[in-house]
């Protein structure tokens, strides 16, 4: 009868694996480049287009990390809401900049309106009509504009310089934005407030005041 003999011990061997063969090493899955990139770009979303890229890469990161194939699921999931928030902030910031530029462009035309010269009154009225909205031009008569400009001319004189625009308080129109300027007139300084909105893709004045008095008040 043959006696059973135990196989010789082999250093480095492992139970269940051939002698001399090390056991398999279970390495973690690689990181998802889309998840990492999406998270980083989402944090930079206030820059603008990076919010869109962060959102797209975040969605791709969720897909590529599903089932544990790659790491970074948490980063990919976080990138989606962060991109939406920072993207919205970038839009609000851009709108504020554009409104400031539009207000500055309108302010640059104000010296033509406040000429304070009777011989230039018709040109001043035309200049105000040119930048006025349809509602302003339809509801404010030429006589009211003329009387208002004459009052401004008597009290303040000619407009010499317009300061930088600053956001003003609420206006009578829900869709109008208001900016105030410090106007330097010949007879001193006065506050100029312009309410304006977008009309046919153009910025137009809906109301204008000098020290709180508007042409609408003279109707």
- The helix/strand/coil state of 189 is strand
Confidence band for 164, pLDDT divided at 50, 70 and 90: confident
Reply yes or no on whether the pLDDT at 174 is more than 60: no
Residues in the chain, overall count: 219
* Tokens encoding 61: 């990161």
pLDDT, residue 146, reads 93
Reply yes or no on whether the pLDDT at 21 is more than 70: no
Q: What is the mean pLDDT of residues 194-208?
A: 83
pLDDT, residue 119, reads 81
**Domain spans, the chain:** 33-97, 108-218
pLDDT, residue 136, reads 93
* Contact predicate 115/143, CB 8 Å: no
Among the residue ranges 109-113, 204-208, 214-218, the one predicted with the least confidence is: 109-113
Reply yes or no on whether the pLDDT at 53 is more than 50: yes
d(CA 150, CA 118): 8
Q: What is the mean pLDDT of residues 35-63?
A: 88
pLDDT, residue 26, reads 72
Q: What is the pLDDT of residues 84-116, one digit of tens each?
A: 999 888 888 887 777 777 767 777 778 888 887
- The DSSP call for residue 172 is S
Q: Which CATH code, of 3.10.450.590, 3.40.50.1220, 2.40.50.140, 3.40.50.300, is assigned to 108-218?
A: 3.10.450.590
Calculate the average pLDDT of the chain.
Answer: 82
Q: What is the mean pLDDT of residues 18-27?
A: 61
* DSSP H or E segment with residue 105: helix 73-107
């Amino acid at each position: 009868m043959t006696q059973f003999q135990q196989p010789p011990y082999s250093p480095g061997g492992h139970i269940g694996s051939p002698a001399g063969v090390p056991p398999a090493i279970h390495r973690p899955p690689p990181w998802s480049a889309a998840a990492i990139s999406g998270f980083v770009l989402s944090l930079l979303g206030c820059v603008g287009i990076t919010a869109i890229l962060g959102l797209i890469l975040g969605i791709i990161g969720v897909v590529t990390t599903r089932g544990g194939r790659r790491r970074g699921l948490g980063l990919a999931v976080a990138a989606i809401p962060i991109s939406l928030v920072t993207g919205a902030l970038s839009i609000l910031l851009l709108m504020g900049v554009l409104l400031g530029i539009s207000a500055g462009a309108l302010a640059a035309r104000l010296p033509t309106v406040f000429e304070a010269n009777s011989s230039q009154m018709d040109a001043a009225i035309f200049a105000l009509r040119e930048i006025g909205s349809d509602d302003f031009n339809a509801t404010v008569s030429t006589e009211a504009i003329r009387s208002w400009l004459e009052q401004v001319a008597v009290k303040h004189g000619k407009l010499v310089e317009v300061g930088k625009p600053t956001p003003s308080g609420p206006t009578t129109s829900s869709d109008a934005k208001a900016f105030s300027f410090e106007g330097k007139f010949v007879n001193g300084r006065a506050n100029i407030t312009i309410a304006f909105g977008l009309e046919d893709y153009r910025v137009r004045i809906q109301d204008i005041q000098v020290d709180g008095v508007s042409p609408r008040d003279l109707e």
